[in-house]
Structure 1
Amino acid sequence: MSVAVTTSESSSEATKASTPTLHLVLAQTAFFMHEQGHNQAAALLADVEDVELVPGNRFGDWQDAVLIVPPYLVPRFTEDVTAAIQPVFEHVAGRHGLEIGGVTAAPALPDIGDDWRQILQEKLAKGAASNQASRSRAKGVTPGLSREGFVFDSREEVLVYEALKRAQAALPEDSTISIFPLPMGRVGVGNAWTPDFLVTVAGRVGIIEVDGPHHQKRFGVDATRDRHWRNSGIVHIERILVEETSADTDLDALVRQFLTRLREYR
C-alpha cells in the first residue's frame, strides 16, 4: 500500500507511521549495495542517521526519500553514488508498500536549546580551529566513530586506524610507531590544518589522508597542502581512497607499504 500525501499534516503522520519501515528499507538497501559490490555506497548508508519522506511535487503525487546524514558526509553523496543507491532503495521500498520517487541526502540539523546564542558566541570566540580534545566535547561521540577516546569523522578513518594499530602490534617495542589521529597543526603562515593521521617511524614523520569522492574535485587544493606539509618536514604523504578500505587485507597491505616507504626515505 503506497503512502499518499495530501496535506502537510497527513505528510507528517505518514512519515511517523512509516519510520520503522523506512529504517528497514535503509538497512536492506545497504546490504543489497554491499552484495552488489557497491561498498562505498553501503558504507555511506551505514552512516545515515534517519530517513524522512517529503512530497515529490506540490500535488503530493509521490514521495521522495531524504537521507539524513552528518554534514561532513553530504559531499560524499555524489551524483554517481546517489544514482547507484536510488533504484535499489526504490525497489526495496516498493517491496514494503512505499512508493518512492527519488532519493537525496541532506545534513542533519544541529541539536540546540534555549541557550543557543550563548553557545554560538562561545564557539565564534574560540575560532574554527579545534584539536582532538575539543572535538570530543563539541561533537559528542557518534556511535561507531570513536576508538579509545579518539573521535573520527568517518567509518573509513576508523578502519585505517584499526589497520595502523594492527601494524603497530606486529612491531617489536624497540622499533614501534606512533599514531596521531586528526591532530590540529599550524603549517606555514596562517594555515591551520588537520591531517587524518600523522605517523612517526624511526625518526621520520608521515601523513595518511583518507580521500572520498569530493577530493577528485579539489586536486589543486590537496597538492598545495601536500607541498606545504613536505616543506615543513613531512617526508611522505599517502592518500588512501575510501574504496580501498573495504577489505582488511588490502588496507593492511597499503599501511605496510606506507610504513616501508617512510622507513626507507632518504
Structure 2
Amino acid sequence: MLPFILKRLGLALLVAFTVSFISFLLLFLSGDPAAALAGETASGEDIEAIRRVYGFDRPMLVQYGEWLVSALQGDFGESYYFKLPVAGLIAERLQVTMILGVCGISFALLTAVPLGVAAAIRPNSIVDRVALFMSVAGQAMPSFWFGLILIVVFAIQLGMLPPSGAETWRHFILPTVVLGYYAMPAIMRLTRAGMLDTLNSDYIRTARAKGAGEGRVLFKHALRNAIIPVVSLAAVQMGFMLGGSIVVESVFALHGAGYLAWESIARNDLPTVQALILVFSMFYIVFTFLADVLNAWLDPRMRSA
C-alpha cells in the first residue's frame, strides 16, 4: 500500500506544479496585465510605469519563480482591488465555500447512492423510474433557475427558510439542495449501473448459494465493489463544487471563494485570480489523490496499477 501511495503522491505533486505554471502563464497570455490595471484611458507612459512597479517587465520565468516561492510560503501578494493580503482574503471567503461544498456533496451522496441502489435492486420499478426522472431533471435544470424557484417557494411564499446570507445553518439549506442536486444525476446513474453489473456477478451468486443474507450480499459484497467508481466521481464533484459554486453563491448572496473569483476577474485583480486558480486546482488534486487511496483500500487489485 505504501508504494502505491508514494507513487500517487509523486504524480499529484507533478500535476500541481504543472497546473501552477499553466495557470500563471494563461493569465499573462490573456492580455497585458499592466494595460488592464492602467485602464483604457491610460497613456503609454502610465502603462510602462505600472509595468515597472509590479515587475511585469522582468522575464516570465523569473516572475513565476518568485511567485511560486512566495505561494509555497503562503504569501500570494496583495490584492490590487481590495488592498488586502490575498491569503487572508481567500481564507476568509473559503470558509463559506467549504461549508457549502461539504454540505452539497453530503446531500448528493446521501440521496443519490441509496436511490441508485434501490433502482438497481428493482429495475423498471416505480423507484427506478423516479430515480431516472430525478436524474434527467437534474441534468436539464439550470442551477440558477432551480435556486430561484426554491427561493420563491420556500423563502417568499412559505417563509420557511431565509433567501440569502450565511449567518446561520438555515441559510445553507437551499444552496446545499441546489448544489447537491446538480451532482446527484451522475452519482445516481453510476451507482445504479455498478450495482446492476455487480449483482449479476458470479461471486454474488456464490454468496447467495452459501446462504448469506440479502443485506450482507448487497452492502458487504455488491456495494463495496460498485462504490469504487462513485468514490472517484465524488472526489471530482467535490472539487467542482468548491471551484464552480459561483452561480449558487451569486443567487443566494453567499460571499464565498467562488463569488470572490468572479469579483477578481471582473476587476482585473490578478494576484487574487492567480491564487484562487491555484487553490481550486489543489482541491481537485488532493481530493483525487484521496479517492485513489480509498479505492486502493477498497480494492487491493488497484494497488498494482
Shared fold, TM over 0.5 = no
- Name the structure with the higher helix share: 2
Q: If you compute each CA radius of gyration, which structure gives the higher value, 1 or 2?
A: 2
- Name the structure with the higher strand share: 1
Per the normalisation by structure 2, the TM-score is 0.21
